[in-house]
Amino acid sequence: MGFDPSKTVFVQAIHVVLSMSKPMLDSKLELYKRWGWSENVALLAFKRQPNCMLISEDKITKAMDFLVNKLGWPSADIARSPSVLFLSLEKRIIPRCSVIQLLQAKGLLKNDLSLSTFILPSERCFLEKFVIKFQDKVPQLWNVYRCKTYHLEVGRQSKKTQVSRHSSSCKFFF
């Protein structure tokens, strides 16, 4: 499969393969294929993050639905950064995507950022690079990040989506 046996990721891949039954592994591959991944793309994701095969189908579906269907990200971009699938949709992905889309709408960021650029960095790095840096130009960034207010342009359909505060999680209303 192209793994370097001297790397830690090889050990992770062996652990994943040994901990899953063949039907379960096939089921995960089929799920990823339904999201547009070819077998080669799924293998790329597996090589980068073998544990992506251990994520529950429900979690994969929710994350892919939000990122692909609601925000318009190509599913192949997610395969290049499969670690994104491990993260909390409500606590990390939605607030960060809201900030990035607001900054892009204001013309402060380019539109071709990769997911890994803003989803994977630590909290501190994200805040410094995308919130604190622009707070003078966009004062509502803190509220957007904390999911208090923002009308998010979603995907290519340009639907308005409201992010509101509700029981410490963000909710999208379509």
Q: What is the pTM of this model?
A: 0.78
3-state secondary structure 10-71: HHHHHHHHHHCCHHHHHHHHHHHHHCCCCHHHHHHHHHHCHHHHCCCHHHHHHHHHHHHHHC
Q: What is the mean pLDDT of residues 160-168?
A: 34
Single-letter residue type at 44? L
Where exactly are the structural domains of the chain? 8-86, 89-173
pLDDT for position 110: 87
Whether the pLDDT of residue 145 is over 60: the answer is yes
User: Where on the phi/psi map is residue 2: left (φ > 0), alpha (ψ -120 to 50), or beta?
Assistant: left
Mean pLDDT of all residues in the chain? 84
**Residues 82-94 pLDDT 10s:** 999 999 998 999 9
Give me the residue label for tokens 């892009």.
104
Q: What is the mean pLDDT of residues 6-31?
A: 93
